[in-house]
Structure 1
Amino acid sequence: MSADRGRQETHEERADRQWAELLQELRVAQTGVQLLFGFLLAVVFQERFTELVDVDRTIYVVTVMLGAATAASLIGPVACHRLLTGRRMKAETVVWASRLTVLGLVLLFCTMCSTLLLIMRVALHNSLALWLVGGMALWFVLCWFVFPVWALARDRRLPTEDEDEGERS
């Protein structure tokens, strides 16, 4: 059985394809982050915000800061690309943009959990909130991290010499 050589593309073509794929992923993530961040920014202007106990206010502040960090990480690849365009650094840009995107996903996980914790604490006023958020955090970890890592572990193909480390498209 012959080894699958994958795509027959130049280094530049591969970088262009990877950039296009990354942009599609970022479009989805950025939209969700922007909606969530907008919601978080509006919360402080609600009348009930003044009724929050100190713990919930602290959770809110942490959540807003996490949301801002998430937005920065997921919008960062666009800034990288814009500042580096025309410098023949597409492959390097893809690597750094990919790293920022993974960081953004980790921060989004934290933002989502923090947001859920605040909402569940306000809605339930009991310790069930922590259990619900813990269960949902586990679900996020499974969907976003465990399943992809499991798929990689099950993939027995050897990378071809023209594939970047970790890529098997």
Structure 2
Amino acid sequence: MDPAERRDGRDETEDERADRMWSDLIQEVRVAQTGVQILFGFLLTVAFTPKYTTLNDTDQAVYITTVVLGACATGALIGPVSLHRLVSGRRIKPQAVAWASRLTFVGLLLLLATMACALLLILRVATHGDHVVQLVVAVVAWYLLCWFGLPLWARYRYTSR
């Protein structure tokens, strides 16, 4: 057994590791895909409501930005499925896992931006308050903490050096 395999406690080949990582990644993507697809579907309907025509130019620009970000997030988070389908059987699973992981990370960043813009639009329309930006910044900070801060802290704290 190679020293690297002993360090991480797993006795698996590169292909077995890629299979395991692929399964983990697909489970993670399923959660994000569901959320982004529901949000994107909702966003697509907004332009067809009577309220949309009453939005000022800034709010319409925020809406359009939100829809475009949602479309991009949807593409990035569905991308790993297409990647897998197109390269399946080509014996490049470790590389496919790496690319799918990158797509998922980009998709999460785009989902964060989409959710921030959607929240900004909803709060601007619903409250017209001066505190909207502060609320959005606070929610984005919370997302950053939950999605990136805590995982990065755990990785730093519990990864053997």
Fold in common (TM above 0.5): yes
Q: Offset of 1:41 from its aligned partner?
A: 0.2
Write out per-residue CA displacement over residues 64-119 of structure 1, whole angstroms, 9 at most, x where no aligned residue. 00000000000001111111011100000000000000000000110000000000
Of 134, 150, 155, which residue of structure 1 is paired with 2:153?
150
> Once superposed, which parts of structure 1, at least 4 consecutive aligned residues long, lie more than 6 Å away?
none
C-alpha distance in 2 between matches for 1:127 and 1:118: 13
Stretches of structure 1 lacking an aligned partner (at least 5 in a row): 159-169
1:111 equivalent in structure 2: 114
C-alpha distance in 1 between matches for 2:34 and 2:91: 29
Of 125, 130, 154, which residue of structure 2 is paired with 1:122?
125
C-alpha distance in 2 between matches for 1:59 and 1:96: 31
RMSD across aligned positions (CA): 1.0
1:93 equivalent in structure 2: 96
3-state SS of 1:157 partner: coil
Q: Offset of 1:129 from its aligned partner?
A: 1.2
2:42 equivalent in structure 1: 39
Structure ranking higher in helix proportion: 2
Does residue 30 of structure 1 match 2:33?
yes
2:70 equivalent in structure 1: 67
Q: Are residues 141 and 5 of structure 1, via their aligned partners in 2, closer, same or farther at CA, if it must alter by over 3 Å? A: closer
Paired letter, 1:99: R
2:3 equivalent in structure 1: none
Stretches of structure 2 lacking an aligned partner (at least 5 in a row): 1-5
1:167 equivalent in structure 2: none
Q: Offset of 1:126 from its aligned partner?
A: 1.8
C-alpha distance in 1 between matches for 2:12 and 2:159: 23
C-alpha distance in 1 between matches for 2:127 and 2:18: 49
Identity of aligned residues (%): 53
Q: Offset of 1:48 from its aligned partner?
A: 0.7
Paired letter, 2:112: F
Does residue 56 of structure 1 match 2:59?
yes
Paired letter, 2:118: T
2:11 equivalent in structure 1: 8
Q: Offset of 1:5 from its aligned partner?
A: 3.8
TM-score between the two structures when normalised by the length of structure 2: 0.94
